Amino acid sequence: MVGPVFTWIAEHPKVFWTAAQQHLVLSAAALGLALALALPLAVVLLRWRRAAATAIALVNVLRTIPSLALLVVMLPILGTGFQPALVALTLYGLPAILINAYTALSEVDADIVEAATGQGLSRAQIVRRIQVPLALPVIFAGIRTAAVQIVSAATLAAFIGGGGLGELITAGMGTLDIPQLVVGGLAVAALAILTELAFGLAERRLNRTRHA
């Protein structure tokens, strides 16, 4: 099986690398957007504990929606292509980041926060200098989970014309081109594993420098 896979890539380099590149761009953009939404939201929710409970409950519902359903729901609203795929993947990655960030920030030891308040740190200074650094390992674990989820789910973007490695799979299925199908599957799996490894490595390095 390995032979036909490499033969297929060698014969269709442009198709393969375009799909891989689309996949990466789509995933990175979705992760970036999810971060840009979830992290500030987590900080805002710290000050609105009651709203926070509702927000977390809503996000937990979002979390239970299958990725394919989320993508397909975008069809009637945003049509097909890159944009609806981006929106769906952003929503898909958001819960892990938001829940981890909010939980970790709000669970920073109350005595430490009180001591900081008593020393005369402002609210913003407490978030920036005390809560974020102390919550960072858990926040980062949430980001890693979201990244892997997004990379995997981005495969389904092909169903709504969002491109990516999923196209190799759908095309391969359509024409019963088994090598193409397998290339798509293997490439997605490899990318997900690489993402997990890379973020895991960064996470370990982060924790190591913090506890020197």
Partner 1 sequence: MIALEGVSKIYPGLPRPAVDDLTLMVPGGRTCVLIGPSGCGKTTTMRMVNRLIEPTRGRIVVEGEDVTHADPVSLRRRIGYVIQQIGLFPHMTIAQNVATVPELLGWPSARVAARVDEMLSLVGLDPGGVRDRYPRHLSGGQRQRVGVARALAADPPVMLMDEPFGAVDPLVRTHLQDEFLSILKRLRKTVILVTHDIDEAIRMGDLVAILKDGRLVQCDAPDRLLAMPANAFVADFVGADRALKRLSLVMAGDACEPGTAPAGAPEIAATLSLRDALAILLGTSTEALRVTGPDGQAVGIVTLAGIRARAGEGAGRGLRAAG
| Interaction site with partner 1 (CB under 8 A) | 109, 111-112, 114-122, 125, 129-130, 133-134, 210
CB of 46 to partner 1, least distance (A): 18
CB of 148 to partner 1, least distance (A): 27
- The answer to whether the beta carbons of residues 61 and 123 sit under 8 Å apart is no
Nearer to partner 1, 40 or 133 (CB): 133
Nearer to partner 1, 101 or 182 (CB): 101
Nearer to partner 1, 177 or 203 (CB): 203
CB of 198 to partner 1, least distance (A): 25
Q: Is 76 exposed, middle or buried (0-12, 13-18, 19+ CB in 10 A)?
A: exposed
What are the DSSP calls for 148-205, one per residue? HHHHHHGGGGGGGT--STHHHHHHHHHTT-HHHHHHHHHHHHHHHHHHHHHHHHHHHH
CB of 32 to partner 1, least distance (A): 26
Q: Give Cβ neighbours of residue 177 (< 8 Å, ≥ 6 apart).
A: 171
Nearer to partner 1, 115 or 189 (CB): 115
